[in-house]
Structure 1
Amino acid sequence: MQTPREQASRLSAMSLLRISVGIVYLWFGALKFFDGLSPAEQLAMNTIHELTFGLIDNKVNLMMLAGWECIVGFLLIIGKYIRPTLLLLFLHMVCTFTPFIFFPKETFHYMPYGLTLVGQYIMKNIIIVAAGIVLWKTEREKEANQHFSEMALSRE
């Protein structure tokens, strides 16, 4: 059982984690709206081209990705619709790892451990996945606590 102070500290830490991931998403997404500003622009276009079998124009794909990332970032920052937002984050994260499959020469110097700078850029996303899992668990706990509180109030 946590003391009120411990609960407040945990809540603050989770808010800081959620907002910091949101800022990263919003920032990286916003860069993609401006040609040449995102260092991941070409990698993103090539990856989405592979994932969509080239059926959609690369620039359209990039704008859709930019919008996706900005929406995820904005919703994480404001703390609304957390669980649906985290589902979008997890789906995006799965896609961010596909260059290891599609472009191994661009992501590895030496398979499977010698990552290129591009590979390192992708691999750091494991931290975002871990943060997402922590936030998901926290949201589930919060929802369960609200449910039990409502049940207790309805019995009175």
Structure 2
Amino acid sequence: MSVGLLFVWFGALKLLPGLSPAEDLATRVMSALTAGRVPADLSRPLLAMAEMLIGAGLVTGLLLRLTLVVFFIHLAGTFSALVVLPGEMWDGSVAFPTMAGQYVLKNVVLLAAGLAVAAHLRPDTRSSDDDR
């Protein structure tokens, strides 16, 4: 529940330009990952909506498997900043993250929370072709 609320909150901040401290970093990473094809004016609301949908899925439990897939893809994009923008993430070596690097690395906690949610999912009970 708390991770979901956090995603809704941080996503909502990205809907209003200038309110999210991660907005610039997130849009630059998105631009780098898409080779500049997705401009900041488009990536910011896309990221905001994705984060808010992830949050809503985690809070309500609706479409939880799909929510977790999007959640893990989102985190992969977040962690890619460590490689895509290394000059901003590291102060000389991997042992010394900058403040921005620390901001990204703290997402390990969110990753652990997502893995905990995924580990407690009930097995898919839909019948397979072998059951017919």
Q: Would you say same fold, with TM above 0.5?
A: yes
Query: 1:96 is matched by which residue type in structure 2?
Result: T
**Which of the residues 108, 111, 123 maps onto 1:143?**
123
Listed one character per residue, the Cα deviations across residues 47-100 of structure 1 (whole Å, up to 9, x for unaligned) are: 000111111221111110100000000111112111110110000000001111
- Within a 5 Å distance, the mapping from 1:1-150 to structure 2 comes to 19-139=1-121, 142-143=122-123
SS in 1 for 2:91: strand
Measured in 2, the distance between the counterparts of 1:34 and 1:62 equals 9
Q: Radius of gyration: which is bigger?
A: 1
Query: 1:123 is matched by which residue type in structure 2?
Result: L
Corresponding residue for residue 130 of structure 2: none
Normalized per residue, which structure has more helix? 1
Measured in 2, the distance between the counterparts of 1:24 and 1:117 equals 20
Measured in 1, the distance between the counterparts of 2:56 and 2:120 equals 19
SS in 2 for 1:97: helix
Measured in 2, the distance between the counterparts of 1:118 and 1:85 equals 26
Aligned residues: 125
TM-score by length of 2: 0.90
Percent identical across equivalent pairs? 35
- Provide the aligned C-alpha RMSD in A: 1.1
Listed one character per residue, the Cα deviations across residues 6-54 of structure 1 (whole Å, up to 9, x for unaligned) are: xxxxxxxxxxxxx011011111100000010000011011100011111
Give the gaps of 5 or more residues in structure 2: 126-132
Give the gaps of 5 or more residues in structure 1: 1-18, 148-156
Corresponding residue for residue 8 of structure 1: none
